[in-house]
């Protein structure tokens, strides 16, 4: 499941995040890499313990909490605090799979990485390259979205960031543990929820069949959800 989430950050939130991170001190991106990723990764990253990263991350987490598309697609249980990276001058991140478990440094907070998210923070016309390339069951998909937009995809998928040959690609990235571990089950729930919402919008959410389908959704979620 690869889902684009438009306008996760509105103009004010995007400006707030950029004001925080643009003046911060960036470091080698391999500070948070696992062994496999370190072999493929070449970028800059904000230290996760920095004030700027924490404050900018809170802006993104607040936006996620208000976004119904994100909540329906991810069914989030735990979210790793957002991190921030920057690519330029030919930097790239080769093909890799995200670590199965992410542990926040110095806290013991851990997340099973069911889903990965990238929030684009730079206008696509400001840089060349930098596409997020994800290998899915339906073929290779490349994603390069407007600033403030985000994409959600399975952490188990092979993916990479193409070389940035002009300008800078600036983004936030992080992982989340879903209430529903299985990606296929999560996709079914998302499809069912989307159909129920559209049907309810046409014939009314108090229609008997809409109520019945809503019950089916919640009973499936009850069956599959971790707590």
Q: Which two tokens stand for residue 105?
A: 């440094």
What's the rounded Cα separation, in Å, for the pair 219 and 196?
14
10 marked ligand binding residue:
no
Q: Which two tokens stand for residue 60?
A: 């993104």
175: left (phi over 0), alpha (psi -120 to 50) or beta: beta
96 marked ligand binding residue:
yes
What's the rounded Cα separation, in Å, for the pair 12 and 149?
13
159 marked ligand binding residue:
yes
193 marked ligand binding residue:
no
Burial of 2 (0-12, 13-18, 19+ CB in 10 A): middle
Burial of 35 (0-12, 13-18, 19+ CB in 10 A): exposed
What's the rounded Cα separation, in Å, for the pair 181 and 3?
17
What's the rounded Cα separation, in Å, for the pair 189 and 178?
12
What's the rounded Cα separation, in Å, for the pair 175 and 132?
15
Q: Angle formed by the axes of helices 11-22 and 51-65, to 10°? A: 160
Q: Which two tokens stand for residue 193?
A: 């929820």
Binding site residue list for 2-oxoglutarate: 169
Binding site residue list for Fe cation: 96, 98, 159
Binding site residue list: 96, 98, 159, 169
């Amino acid at each position: 499941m690869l889902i684009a989430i438009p306008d996760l950050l509105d103009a004010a939130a995007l400006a707030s995040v950029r004001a925080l991170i643009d003046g911060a001190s960036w470091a080698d991106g391999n500070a948070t890499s696992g062994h496999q990723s370190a072999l493929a990764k070449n970028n800059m990253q904000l230290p996760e313990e920095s004030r700027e990263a924490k404050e900018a991350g809170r802006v993104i987490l607040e936006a996620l909490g208000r976004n119904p598309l994100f909540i329906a697609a991810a069914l989030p249980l735990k979210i790793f605090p957002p991190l921030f990276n920057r690519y330029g001058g030919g930097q790239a991140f080769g093909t890799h799979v995200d670590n199965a478990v992410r542990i926040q440094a110095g806290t013991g907070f851990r997340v099973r990485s069911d889903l990965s998210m990238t929030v684009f923070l730079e206008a696509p016309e400001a840089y060349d390259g930098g596409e997020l390339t994800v290998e899915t069951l339906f073929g290779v998909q490349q994603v390069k979205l407007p600033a403030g937009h985000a994409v959600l995809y399975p952490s188990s998928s092979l993916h990479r960031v193409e070389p940035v040959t002009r300008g800078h690609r600036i983004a936030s990235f992080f992982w989340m543990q879903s209430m529903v571990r299985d990606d296929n089950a999560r996709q079914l729930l998302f499809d069912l929820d989307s159909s129920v919402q559209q049907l309810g919008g046409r014939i009314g959410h108090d229609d008997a069949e809409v109520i019945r389908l809503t019950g089916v959704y919640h009973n499936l979620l009850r069956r599959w959800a971790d707590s």
